Amino acid sequence: MMCLLCVGDRSLRIELVEEILRFSAYRKDGVHVGTNLVLTVTAYEGPYLYLKLIHRRTLDHCRLATTDDWDKHKKEDGRFPYSYIFRNILEDRVLDKPDGTLTIRPAPDRETTVKDVQLITPENTAGFHLEDELPDLSEKERDNAPFTCLRIGPFPRAGGSYLLRFECHIGEPSFGDLIPEDMETGTRIYKVYGPDHIKNHIESYDLPRCSVGSDSAPYQKHREFFQGIKPENMIMPARYQIIAVDNPNGDPRQLQAMDLTNDLRDITNQIPPSLYDHPVLKQIQNRLHWFTSEAPGNGFFLQLSGPIALAELCDVTR
């Protein structure tokens, strides 16, 4: 369900993809996603360099985080503190340098850092944008698209390392299709597949689903685009991390990791207690779960189980 297939030129090296996934017990809330990207661009010859990110089914309300969103001094601005979590999920994770760049330690391993990282936002990078690669669909057609492809860029020709975040939402009908529910137990299963699995799932399930019936014509561009992806253009991140946020809902049951493959480590115990000093995060004390994959292929799988809200369950079973 979650995670992204990254497509681009070999001039792009992805140091970290870190998804902060906000789960709610209410179906109407769907899943909110904040995806942090740390990447390095080497010199390249072409006129433009973009990174394309592919996710199963439909993503809603996609936006680049602004300069204001990244302000490290903001604690209560009415928005979920994605930036605060990114900075504080590890002690001394981000070092602000006098020249305005950052040094970032992606994971608990203190020997690995990315230096001279520049922040990318809509305000500070002229002409840089995030857009749907395949936008020519009606609202109804878009709801049933086999995948969403976000194009991010263009990146500066001179190269360098960059940090950015895009935020989006998974609602209906994608939510119902991707996230199975068990009404007998009142639970919902969230399956998080690594990038190695995304291509196979789109080819095996999502594209065939759109190839039957009289309404298959609008998705011809999706089929052609996906068939044109070459193996050498699939970029595997050096690290893929998932931070699952368990929102309070009055139910004593909590989000739980039910199953994970051997190439995915649960490093929740390395979250410093000081992270929960934030007024929003105090409400979910010790209810963040953190997983990291360092396998070269990123073929990991994670299954999380969370409760369906009691009121919602009652409405469904009447």
Q: DSSP string covering 199-244, please?
A: HHHIIIIIHHHTSSSTT-GGGHHHHHHHHT--GGGEEPPS-EEEEE
CA distances (Å), 257 to each of 115, 196, 284, in order? 33, 20, 17
Q: Say what the alpha-carbon torsion angle 130, 170, 201, 312 is, to the nearest 10 degrees.
A: 180
Instruction: Report pLDDT for 183.
Output: 86
> Dihedral sign, CA of 229, 231, 235, 239?
positive
Residue 233 φ/ψ, nearest 5 degrees = -95, 0
Of 61 and 79, the structure prediction assigns the larger pLDDT to 61
Mean pLDDT of 144-151: 95
Question: Model-level pTM greater than 0.85?
Answer: yes
- The distance from CA 216 to its chain's CA centroid, rounded to whole angstroms, is 28
Of 258 and 162, the structure prediction assigns the larger pLDDT to 162
Instruction: Report pLDDT for 73.
Output: 73
Smallest CA-to-CA distance from 306 within 252, 230, 234 is with 252
Mean pLDDT of 252-272: 88
Instruction: Report pLDDT for 214.
Output: 60
Return the amino acid letter for 55. Answer: H
Contact 63, 166 (CB under 8 A): yes
Smallest CA-to-CA distance from 299 within 202, 195, 150 is with 195
- Domain with 118, as residue range(s), is 5-317
pLDDT value at 72 more than 50: yes
Contact 96, 115 (CB under 8 A): no
Return the amino acid letter for 163. Answer: L
| Beta strand 12-23 pairing with 181-182 | unpaired
Query: Cα separation of 167 and 15, whole Å?
Result: 19
Confidence category of residue 159, pLDDT binned at 50, 70, 90: confident
Query: Cα separation of 219 and 155, whole Å?
Result: 29
Query: How many CB atoms sit inside 10 A of residue 146's CB?
Result: 22
Query: Cα separation of 253 and 260, whole Å?
Result: 20
Residue 183 pairs in a beta bridge with none
Overall size of the chain counted in residues: 318
- Residue 13 burial by CB count (10 A; 0-12/13-18/19+): exposed, middle or buried? middle
Residue 117 pairs in a beta bridge with 102, 161
Instruction: Report pLDDT for 318.
Output: 40
Mean pLDDT of 117-138: 91
Confidence category of residue 312, pLDDT binned at 50, 70, 90: low
- For 93, residues 6+ apart whose C-beta sits below 8 A from its C-beta are 86, 87, 104, 105
pLDDT value at 317 more than 50: no
Residue with token string 């009606």: 138
Instruction: Report pLDDT for 195.
Output: 84
- Count the domains in the chain: 1
Smallest CA-to-CA distance from 35 within 13, 12, 59, 57 is with 59
pLDDT in tens, 278-311: 988 998 888 999 999 877 677 888 999 998 876 6
pLDDT value at 229 more than 90: yes
Query: Cα separation of 122 and 164, whole Å?
Result: 10
Mean pLDDT of 248-261: 79
Instruction: Report pLDDT for 213.
Output: 64
- The distance from CA 45 to its chain's CA centroid, rounded to whole angstroms, is 29
Mean pLDDT of 255-276: 91
Highest-pLDDT range among 62-76, 94-108, 124-138: 94-108
pLDDT value at 272 more than 90: yes
Of 239 and 110, the structure prediction assigns the larger pLDDT to 239
Contact 161, 114 (CB under 8 A): yes
Smallest CA-to-CA distance from 5 within 196, 243, 212, 143 is with 196
Confidence category of residue 97, pLDDT binned at 50, 70, 90: very high
Of 168 and 212, the structure prediction assigns the larger pLDDT to 168
Query: Cα separation of 311 and 316, whole Å?
Result: 9
154's tokens: 């263009």
